[in-house]
Amino acid sequence: MMNIKGMRRHPYSRSRIQPIAFAIAVPGKFVRYREMFDLTLSFDNGPEPEATPAVLDILARRSLHSSFFVIGEKLATPQGRTLAARAHAEGHWIGNHSWSHSLPLGLCVEADVAETEIGRTQALIGALSQPSPLFRPFGGGGNLDRRLLSPAAVEYLMQKKFTCVLWNAIPRDWNDPDGWIERALGQCREQSWTLMVLHDVPSGAMRHLDRFLDRIGEMDGRLRQDFPPDCLPIVDGIIVQPIESYVMHADRA
């Protein structure tokens, strides 16, 4: 069941762009190399009336599209619903980030937790969903480890044909609202394609989103909406990347 069944092309990971290093020759002096990079933005833990509208305004002004991984409990409020609908209408992808965001699924023992945390949220997302629904597990502070998923959760994601979206950059905007930008820029420089987790919550961090995007532009970073294949262990319900390091088995808990 959990074998790798082979890579497939998929709209969420259209192509991999390798870093392009190019040289600017300065006559008689030196050669400067620049690394170009790609950046996919994602916003987790909303929607929040005090944070999401400003993020949407900034992205709209710049004609940028991203993904919003919403928490079911917040989507269940009228304001949350309105904000998610606006994000969807403006071209962003709406993903599922669990109902309660309280415990990583790998640490949950209840038999029906996949349905109550993933299924219930997905039902609420409804027509705002992508064709292959997007699920991002709660990492309990950004941990990419076996706490992310349980065997039952993986089974559920496969059955319901989810695409599981992880990340490769987490600049911890929520606990460093004024200092996350430099860390985030460093993470972009380190790899050819960054999938960054930011948070549309009222931490104050998103006050700096505009400035962050200015800096990305100055560095020739390219914003895109699709996801790096390495961050997608499950695509359309099929395991396409090694997943065992993200799955907690009861006998190893």
Tell the smallest beta-carbon distance from residue 45 to Zn ion (Å): 5
Part in contact with Zn ion (CB under 5 A); list of ranges 14-22, 37-45, 157-165, 234-242: 37-45
By C-beta, is 134 or 240 nearer to Zn ion? 134
Q: Is residue 96 at the binding interface for Zn ion, with CB under 5 A as the rule? A: no
Tell the smallest beta-carbon distance from residue 99 to Zn ion (Å): 12
Q: Is residue 42 at the binding interface for Zn ion, with CB under 5 A as the rule? A: no
By C-beta, is 45 or 129 nearer to Zn ion? 45
By C-beta, is 221 or 233 nearer to Zn ion? 233
Query: For residue 132, how far is the Cα from the chain centroid?
Result: 15
Q: Which of 13, 38, 44, 120 binds Zn ion (CB under 5 A)?
A: 44
Part in contact with Zn ion (CB under 5 A); list of ranges 20-28, 39-47, 160-168, 236-244: 39-47
State the Cα angle at 101 between 99 and 102, rounded to 5°. 120
By C-beta, is 42 or 45 nearer to Zn ion? 45
Q: Is residue 52 at the binding interface for Zn ion, with CB under 5 A as the rule? A: no
Per-residue HEC secondary structure of the chain comes to CCCCCCCCCECCECCCCCCCEEEEECCCCCEEEEECCEEEEEEECCCCCCCHHHHHHHHHHCCCCCEEEECHHHHCCHHHHHHHHHHHHCCCEEEECCCCCCCCHHHCCCCCHHHHHHHHHHHHHHHHECCCCEECCCCCCCCCCCCCECHHHHHHHHHCCCEECCCCECCCCCCCCCCHHHHHHHHHHHCCEEEEEEECCCCCHHHHHHHHHHHHHHCCCEEECCCCHHHCCEECCEECCCCHHHECCHHHC
Tell the smallest beta-carbon distance from residue 229 to Zn ion (Å): 22
CA distance linking residue 211 with residue 218, whole number of Å: 11
Tell the smallest beta-carbon distance from residue 227 to Zn ion (Å): 16
Tell the smallest beta-carbon distance from residue 169 to Zn ion (Å): 14
Part in contact with Zn ion (CB under 5 A); list of ranges 12-20, 26-34, 38-46, 108-116: 38-46
Determine the size of the site formed for Zn ion (CB under 5 A).
2
CA distance linking residue 171 with residue 84, whole number of Å: 24
Tell the smallest beta-carbon distance from residue 167 to Zn ion (Å): 10
Tell the smallest beta-carbon distance from residue 253 to Zn ion (Å): 21
Q: Is residue 45 at the binding interface for Zn ion, with CB under 5 A as the rule? A: yes
Site for Zn ion, rule CB under 5 A: 44-45
